[in-house]
Amino acid sequence: MSCTICEIRKEKRFCPAIHGRICTQCCGEQREVTLDCPSECPYLQQARAHEKPRLASEVDREALFLQVDVSEQFTYEREHLLTGLSYALLKAAQADRSLNDRDLISALSAMCTSYERLASSGLHYEQPLTSAAQHAVARQLQEMLKEYREAEQKRLGHSTLKESDVLKALVFLLRMAYGRTSGRPKSRALIDFLREQFPECKSVIMAPQEEGSRIIMP
């Protein structure tokens, strides 16, 4: 039997993305490129286990917002903010299974641009998003920020969260996202990574004493 994709080489494995048998070469070349690989595919999992993490040098420097300084002290002080935003990304992905890493990264990038402008000039102007899916991701992030501020207000009597803090948190997550995705068009490596961090679906907006550390490092 020949490969369902190339119709030249001999088929070697079953591909759950097309529900057919394909050769190893097509599997390797088309994985998360033309094939919408499900997370449970054993060949996808095997490939990820042997992939090296993406280096910062492989990503456009401007895309990483390197002008924004995110210190270790900030990640410690705003651990629950980072955790909440990470969970919001996962919620968006769970709500729409068609989302991939690029959608999450595009939404994060647009919000970073908007908050950088807001933090520096006070001007509120939302960076345009290219799809309804990206809008949905941004809405989840904004909703989480609202919940975070409300939780602070209830606990402290006021919110300490500044626009510059939101910017740093979003930039931190954006850099983490670039490091976790494979970079292929249909990659969901970032989404699967987030799913591993939050195996239980529950609120992550809580006081520090209620939950152990879940901070996600790039």
The CA-based angle 210-81-159, given to 5 degrees, is 90
Q: Is residue 148 in some structural domain?
A: yes
Do both 25 and 64 map to the same domain? Answer: no
Structural tokens at position 152:
């602070």
Give per-residue pLDDT as tens, 192-206: 999 999 876 555 554
In the predicted model, what is the mean pLDDT of residues 57-80? 91
Domain span at residue 10 reads 1-51
Do both 88 and 61 map to the same domain? Answer: yes
DSSP labels for 87-113?
HHHHHHHHH-TT--HHHHHHHHHHHHH
Average pLDDT, the chain: 87
Give per-residue pLDDT as tens, 140-172: 999 999 999 999 989 889 889 999 999 999 999
**pLDDT given for residue 66 in this prediction:** 93
Do both 129 and 185 map to the same domain? Answer: yes
Q: Is residue 64 in some structural domain?
A: yes
Neighbours of 22 (CB within 10 A): 23
Do both 21 and 107 map to the same domain? Answer: no
What percentage of the chain carries pLDDT values higher than 70? Answer: 86
The CA-based angle 158-163-165, given to 5 degrees, is 85
Do both 13 and 69 map to the same domain? Answer: no
Q: pTM of the prediction?
A: 0.85
In the predicted model, what is the mean pLDDT of residues 125-145? 84
Do both 194 and 153 map to the same domain? Answer: yes
Does residue 13 surpass a pLDDT of 90?
yes
Q: Strand 20-22 and strand 13-15: pairing? A: antiparallel
**pLDDT given for residue 202 in this prediction:** 53
* Domains identified in the chain, total number: 2
Q: Is residue 91 in some structural domain?
A: yes
In the predicted model, what is the mean pLDDT of residues 169-180? 95
Do both 72 and 149 map to the same domain? Answer: yes
Q: Is residue 110 in some structural domain?
A: yes
Structural tokens at position 31:
């994985």
